[in-house]
Amino acid sequence: MQKEDVARLFTTPVDSPAYAPARYRFTNREYLNIYYRTDPEAVRRLVPEPLTVTDPIVRFEIMRMPDTTGLGDYTEAGQLIAVEHEGDKGEFNLAMYVDSVPAISSGREYSAYPKKSGSPTLYVDSDTLVGTLDYGTLRVATATMGYKHHAMDPAEALAQVCAPNFMIKTVPDYDGGLRVCDLVRTRITDVTVKSAYTAPARLELFAHAMAPLADLPVLEVVGAGHILTDLTLSPVEPVFDYLTA
């Protein structure tokens, strides 16, 4: 392999890339979103400056993705915290638990998604939409929502899907320090909302040292959504450099 070929590598291994060099388009991406109020001090300990917390609202999400260009079929779960940055309202993506190695690799390496391994599921049980998250052999979250009780306003569905995501991008240096440490932002584009519903919902979180979702306790469920979409993820853009601040 010539030097110029090495410089063009998208990722490694050199003979079998960990993920496809694609802009990811999701077809029939299905969300279960549960919004809840939590302890204000708990979120402030986790949200990095220069983001600000105006209301201690967390979104627990399960995303079922059966058809993703380059990545195939997988499921994710995560927690996102409502924040603002210079007047731009969005969400700080705290953690994501994913059942796909290519999705974890691409999310962390190519972008800045805080992904680690987990076993989320999303399914219908009689008249109830159920989302679960296991970490290893232990259950760490169970979400339930009535199945398609009330049609959601399309504008509300878009707001749930399209809120800007803020994340921390880090790249270690060879001496153990950091080569990159940025606050970045990404947006979802080319969205088609195929269906959107709301209904009564509940969320139960279980304490776990390595999947600490319960550190943001559920004080009050304030909303829920079940949304089916097609969409595209945009690349991240840096908004703050911690190494030069």
Catalytic center residues: 115
Q: Is 22 helix (H, G, I), strand (E, B) or coil?
A: coil
Q: How far is CA 161 from CA 18, 154, 187, in A?
A: 27, 11, 10
Nearest to 201 by CA among 36, 39, 82, 81: 36
Cβ atoms of residues 81 and 166 within 8 Å: no
Nearest to 131 by CA among 213, 53, 45, 203: 203
42 half-sphere exposure, CB direction, 13 A CA radius = 16
Question: What is the total residue count of the chain?
Answer: 245
User: Which residues does residue 190 pair with via DSSP β-bridges, in sequence order?
Assistant: none
Calpha distance 121→140 (Å, rounded): 12
Calpha distance 50→240 (Å, rounded): 8
